[in-house]
């Protein structure tokens, strides 16, 4: 299942039932898990670990050195989980020693054409990056986040679970969980209600989040005062929202 024109470094560890297409290059210190499909003309550099049952399409470049002028050839890593789909011309770079030396992608993510994930990013599970979406370095993305095409996120920002970044948006502050943001620079435009309904959130949970959103964005309160009001709401979703905002260093979109 490995095409005779593919170039595989002797130190690479290839599991059973892995497909590697024509003219792909698998470099040293690369590990590829069972059932992963790699199309033609893919380049994977190490140290990189790729899990099971991923699909990596032609002309993707994974595990290349970071585009960071501070990088001096240190040994840093890329880890990709299971059941991800990485489409044509995607680029995902290894980490830097200025952070945890690791770029990490979770499970069941879809990265469409030309998506760029820079060094030291950490992405959760079940995210969708539409065409040409890009993350700068050190960005943290939680589970079930959707990025529209040509959207971008500034370095060191965090994007909370179940949020939605619309097409052509540029994020320069943290995006709280469950929130929809849009614009250059991105501003909040209500809850990601459609996404929450699709994922089975109850009407009661969505109603509680609507109340929390009004406290944060509609009542004219400072973030500190808004947090005091939110502490009175006991739903687990609102508590997650509180924890995310309290941990923010960059501040949240307003």
Q: Which pLDDT score, from 0 to 100, does residue 221 have?
A: 94
- Of the residues 119, 124, 143, 148, only one is catalytic, namely 119
81-139 pLDDT, tens digit each: 999 999 999 999 999 999 999 999 999 999 999 999 999 999 999 999 999 999 999 99
Query: Is residue 53 domain-resident?
Result: yes
What residues contact 110, with CB distance under 8 A and at least 6 apart? Answer: 84, 85, 87, 127, 128, 129
Query: Is residue 226 domain-resident?
Result: yes
Higher pLDDT among residues 1 and 157, named by residue: 157
- Of the residues 39, 46, 95, 137, only one is catalytic, namely 137
Between the alpha carbon of residue 221 and those of residues 95, 174, 218, 226, the distances in Å are 38, 18, 8, 6
DSSP code, position 2: B
Do 157 and 209 reside in the same domain of the chain?
A: no
Banded pLDDT at 180 (limits 50, 70, 90): very high
Q: Which pLDDT score, from 0 to 100, does residue 203 have?
A: 96
Task: Give the CATH number for residue 231.
Answer: 1.20.1180.10
Query: Is residue 233 domain-resident?
Result: yes
Do 104 and 210 reside in the same domain of the chain?
A: no
Instruction: Categorise residue 196: left if φ over 0, alpha if ψ from -120 to 50, beta otherwise.
Output: alpha
Do 46 and 155 reside in the same domain of the chain?
A: yes
Query: Is residue 2 domain-resident?
Result: no
Do 162 and 205 reside in the same domain of the chain?
A: no
Do 135 and 220 reside in the same domain of the chain?
A: no
Q: Which pLDDT score, from 0 to 100, does residue 119 have?
A: 98
Query: Is residue 251 domain-resident?
Result: no
Assess whether 126 carries a catalytic annotation.
no
CB 192 within 8 A of CB 178: yes
CB 80 within 8 A of CB 62: yes
Assess whether 120 carries a catalytic annotation.
yes
Task: Give the CATH number for residue 162.
Answer: 2.160.10.10
Do 23 and 48 reside in the same domain of the chain?
A: yes
Q: Which pLDDT score, from 0 to 100, does residue 6 have?
A: 98
> What predicted TM-score, i.e. pTM, was given to this entire model?
0.97
Assess whether 174 carries a catalytic annotation.
no
Number of structural domains the chain divides into: 2
208-238 pLDDT, tens digit each: 999 999 999 999 999 999 999 999 998 999 9
Q: Which pLDDT score, from 0 to 100, does residue 152 have?
A: 98
Structural domain boundaries, residue 239: 201-246
Q: Which pLDDT score, from 0 to 100, does residue 230 have?
A: 95
Distance CA(147)–CA(152), nearest Å, equals 9
Query: Is residue 240 domain-resident?
Result: yes
Residue 50, strand partner residues: 32, 80
Query: Is residue 1 domain-resident?
Result: no
CB atoms within 10 A of CB 224: 7
Distance of CA 198 to the CA centre of its chain: 20
Distance CA(93)–CA(97), nearest Å, equals 13
Do 49 and 102 reside in the same domain of the chain?
A: yes
Do 71 and 151 reside in the same domain of the chain?
A: yes
Domain boundary residue, one of 196, 211, 229: 196
Q: Which pLDDT score, from 0 to 100, does residue 67 have?
A: 97
Q: Which pLDDT score, from 0 to 100, does residue 17 have?
A: 96
- Of the residues 99, 107, 120, 143, only one is catalytic, namely 120
Q: What is the mean pLDDT of the chain?
A: 97
Do 147 and 176 reside in the same domain of the chain?
A: yes
Banded pLDDT at 243 (limits 50, 70, 90): very high
């Amino acid at each position: 299942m490995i095409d005779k024109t593919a170039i595989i470094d002797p130190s690479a560890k290839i599991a059973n039932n892995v497909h590697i297409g024509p003219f792909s290059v698998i470099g040293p210190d690369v590990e590829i898990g069972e059932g992963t499909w790699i199309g033609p003309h893919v380049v994977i550099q190490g140290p990189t670990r790729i899990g099971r049952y991923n699909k990596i399409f032609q002309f993707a470049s994974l595990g290349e050195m970071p585009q960071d002028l501070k990088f001096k050839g240190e040994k840093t890593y890329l880890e990709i989980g299971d059941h991800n789909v990485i489409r044509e011309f995607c680029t995902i770079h290894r980490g830097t020693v200025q952070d945890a030396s690791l770029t990490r992608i979770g499970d069941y993510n879809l990265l469409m054409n030309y998506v760029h994930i820079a060094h030291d990013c950490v992405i959760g599970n079940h995210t969708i990056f539409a065409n040409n979406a890009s993350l700068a370095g050190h960005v943290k993305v939680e589970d079930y986040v959707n990025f529209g095409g040509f959207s971008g996120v500034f370095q060191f920002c965090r994007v909370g679970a179940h949020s939605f970044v619309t097409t052509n948006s540029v994020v320069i502050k943290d995006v709280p969980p469950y929130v929809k943001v849009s614009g250059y620079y991105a501003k909040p435009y209500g809850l990601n209600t459609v996404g929450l309904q699709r994922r089975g959130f109850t009407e009661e949970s969505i109603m509680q989040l609507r109340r929390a959103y009004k406290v944060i964005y509609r009542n004219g309160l400072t973030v500190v005062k808004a947090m005091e009001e939110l502490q009175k709401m006991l739903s687990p979703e609102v508590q997650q929202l509180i924890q995310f905002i309290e941990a923010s260093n960059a501040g949240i979109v307003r």
